[in-house]
Amino acid sequence: MVQVEARMPVVYLSHGAPPLAADRLWTSPLADWSAALPRPTAVLVVSAHWEEAPLTLGATETVPLVYDFWGFPKRYYDVTYAAPGAPDLAASVRALLDSPRHTVHDAPHRGLDHGAYVPLVEMFPDADVPTLQVSMPTLDPRTLFELGRRLRPLRDEGVLILGSGFTTHNLSLLDMSRGTDIAAPGWSREFDDWAERAVAAHDVDSVIDFLHKAPAARLAHPRIEHFAPLFVSLGASADDSPAATSVIDGFWFGLSKRSWQFN
């Protein structure tokens, strides 16, 4: 890929279920956010919804989306997002990660899942930025952090590394009958407040060890896959001067939508 003058920021965002796309308090900030970013040469997505070991590259040409959700109205299954494939980015990822000990696999028919395309529809609605999704080969925080560090050189090629999860995510305690603007429960507010302060302080060790350091961590994340992409984003920005900006905050059905940019 071509070297560019400015290093691309890194983001971690809370993508939510497909109906979150109807919430203007989420979609408008996403659109404003992307407008303020440098134009990326490509987007590399690490989504909570793809765990596969060894690390696997998604399709490098445009293929159908993965509608990896159930029970929603038909309109959510009619969404399309025909972003160009990113074979050059795939080659760069492979060059950074492939080794005799760590083989990179390919899934040429796997399209973008909703953790990728739901926010990208809002951020780059023309679907004109080459996009590649890679799997999380593990949920181990330190391994994902190191993965992010190894991907960091892509930023100098203008690649937007995008971790997509949800800052609090406990669907068993989600009551969708009460409306999107219900008061967030204490466990979600406490974890969100802790995460905001820990990330702002660049306390990477505490974020990586969040299950032991954060209040209500196991209520906020009974399983950690939606927080895990943050470790990749932190790793990809680890050697920079600490500069984390909380771009989106607030709650949706009581779950924290907090999202960060790392410069």
Structural domains of the chain in order of their starting residue, each with its CATH number? 10-262 (3.40.830.10)
Low-confidence ranges of the chain (pLDDT < 70): 1-5, 240-242
From the number of C-beta atoms within 10 Å of its C-beta (0-12, 13-18, 19+), residue 61 rates as exposed
The residue written with tokens 């909703």 in the block is: 114
* pLDDT, position 19: 87
* pLDDT, position 1: 58
The predicted-structure confidence for 32-59, as pLDDT tens digits, reads as follows: 999 999 999 999 999 999 999 999 999 9
* pLDDT, position 176: 72
* pLDDT, position 20: 86
Amino acid, res. 239: D
* pLDDT, position 28: 96
Strands of 105-106's sheet in order across: 105-106, 56-57, 131-136, 42-51, 159-165, 10-14, 259-262, 244-248
* pLDDT, position 175: 76
Is the Cα dihedral 259, 55, 109, 130 positive or negative?
Answer: positive
Question: Two tokens at 18?
Answer: 């497909």
As a whole number of angstroms, the distance between CA 252 and CA 226 comes to 15
